Structure 1
Amino acid sequence: MRIVFDLGGSVIMPENPSSEKIKEYAKVFKKLKDEGHEIAIVVGGGKTARDYIRLARELNANDSLCDTLGILSTRLNALILAIALNDYSIKKIPTNFEEAEIILSTGKIPVLGGTHPAHTTDAVAAGLAEFINADLLVIGTNVDGVYNKDPKKFKDAKKYSKLSFEELVNIAISSSLKAGSSSVIDPLAAKIIERAKIKTVVVKGEPEELLKAVKGESDGTVIE
């Protein structure tokens, strides 16, 4: 199976990043690769990006420069994971989908960060999944699925176990417009998932949960 993993920056690079935790992620990806799956990974910016963007804004940087810093930050995080993957990956972070596909064709695991200004890494992961005709997109976030509102703020938030592509788009758009609601997938990523009809699983971004998502054993949200 050809799989794209979308790892949120706050998952792979939290407040206090741990080399041991990054090794755990690498172990999961190596295991899946050894089982015969083709894997590509997109990594978010997390605290790394937030810190640089905050500093840039304090220095009166415009949004375009902040986008550039955000992309560079995601690529730093991607390189850390690529290093942990050892010979399963290469120490060159692709800057576009074509480069990622070339690395994939050599039997290695491409690890990407951002590619386009104003695009989230969710959108990059969805776009990459479409570009390489992935069978599955696994989104690892700091919550365990898609909810009707932010579960960290609202105790009565409802998690969806399954969604259609159209339902995902409607939730993503609604969440981007309404205060007090939250979606873990941005509208552009949702639209790409819908048009390409990519089976997607949203899970808590822990190593074991990523593995369960591939095996069909996750209790996250399945979109198909």
Structure 2
Amino acid sequence: MSSASKKPGPEPGVKYARVMLKISGEALMGDQGYGLNPRTVARIAEEVKAVHDLGVEICMVIGGGNIFRGLAGSAQGMERTTADYMGMLATVMNALAMQSALESLGVFTRVISAIPMDQVCEPYIRRRAVRHLEKKRVCIFAAGTGNPYFTTDTAATLRANEMGCQAVFKGTKVDGVYDKDPKKHSDAKRYEKVSYDEALEKHLGVMDATAIALARDNDLPIIVFSLDEPGGFRGILAGEGTYTTVNAKG
């Protein structure tokens, strides 16, 4: 292959060439108690663009808890499968909002749904999604795995493995994994690194158990960082910032 025909990779010094960004639906609420805050969506889109500009191929999964959470609906008497499907539809709404924000910044994006809805977004076809990534389009995977009883954490880990991502980045309200809630306990200890097994045994709240086990079985690192820290996502890709890495060694 001639040098002219080689696909451009990430900039020198960038650790990962292809990553999955998992954020909660609540992250899109901003200071509201419900729904989407356009300014917050735009700010997160700018964070994603900053990493995209490094030449990194980006997948995204966004939860739906800002609109509807299936487990909460089930707890209030709704049939669980129906509640989970409603939650999946909420993730599609969030994905479309993020697509709009990214494309307003000039970042080409595809929303890919596990539940077919052709007039709104693409159906999930693995080889097509991989091709989008190779063309430097951000792929936002919506509707979870397409099955009830599975969280968007599990969907993110599943899609990350299918897409050949080198890490899952979990954007949260805090700058890593703590032994207890740092917002409630001033003596909370932050882990620099933690093993998959320790995260499961101590219930550290990194992701749900199924997602962590899937990452462990495929040796996929999970990097937990603060999405509220401006430039934090880009900084980690460049080897800077504060975060916790969950991997086999801990």
Q: What corresponds to 1:178 in structure 2? A: none
Task: State the SS of the aligned residue for 1:198.
Answer: coil
**Distance in structure 1 (CA, Å) of the matches to 2:220 and 2:125:** 17
Q: Is the 8 A contact 2:110 2:138 kept in 1?
A: no
TM-score where L is the length of structure 2: 0.75
**How has the CA–CA distance of structure 1 residues 71 and 217 changed in structure 2, closer, same or farther, with 3 Å as cutoff?**
same
The 3-state SS of whatever aligns with 2:68 is helix
Structure 2 residue matching 1:79: 3-state secondary structure: helix
User: Aligned AA for 1:108?
Assistant: R
Letter in structure 1 aligned against 2:26: S
Matches within 5 A, 1:2-81: 2-14=18-30, 16=32, 17-50=36-69, 60-81=77-98
| Shift >4 Å, 4+ stretches | 52-58
Change (3 A) 1:91 1:136: closer
Aligned CA distance change for structure 1 residues 209 and 67 (closer, same or farther; 3 Å): same
Superposed, 1:96-175 pairs within 5 Å as: 96=124, 98=126, 100-113=129-142, 114-115=144-145, 116-171=147-202, 175=203
Match for residue 117 of structure 2? Answer: none
Does the aligned pair in 1 maintain the 2:71–2:80 contact within 8 Å? no
CA RMSD of aligned residues (A): 2.4
SS at match of 2:170: strand
Q: Could you tell me whether the CA contact under 8 Å between 1:14 and 1:47 is conserved in 2? A: no
Percentage identity across aligned positions?
29
For structure 1, which segment, 157-166 or 12-21, has the greater mean C-alpha deviation from structure 2 after superposition? 12-21
Equivalent residue number for residue 210 of structure 1: 233
More helix by share: 1
Structure 2 gaps, min length 5: 1-16, 115-123
Q: Distance in 1 between matches of 2:25 and 2:41?
A: 12
- Specify the code of the residue in structure 1 equivalent to 2:39: E
Corresponding residue number in structure 2 for 1:85:
102
In 1, Cα distance between equivalents of 2:71 and 2:195: 35
Tell me the alpha carbon deviations over residues 11-60 of structure 1, each in whole angstroms, 9 at most, x when there is no partner: 1234524322222222222232222111111111122124x8767876x4
Question: Which deviates more from structure 2 when the two are superposed, residues 101-110 or residues 5-14?
Answer: 101-110
Residue correspondences, number? 213
In structure 1, how many angstroms separate the alpha carbons of the residues matched to 2:113 and 2:30?
A: 23
Q: Deviation per CA, 1:181-211: give whole Å up to 9, x if none.
A: x513111111111111112210112252222
SS at match of 2:138: coil
1:219 partner SS:
coil
Q: Deviations over 1:59-112 (max 9, x none)?
A: x42011110011111111111001111152345433246264343244311112
Unaligned runs of 5+ in 1: 176-181
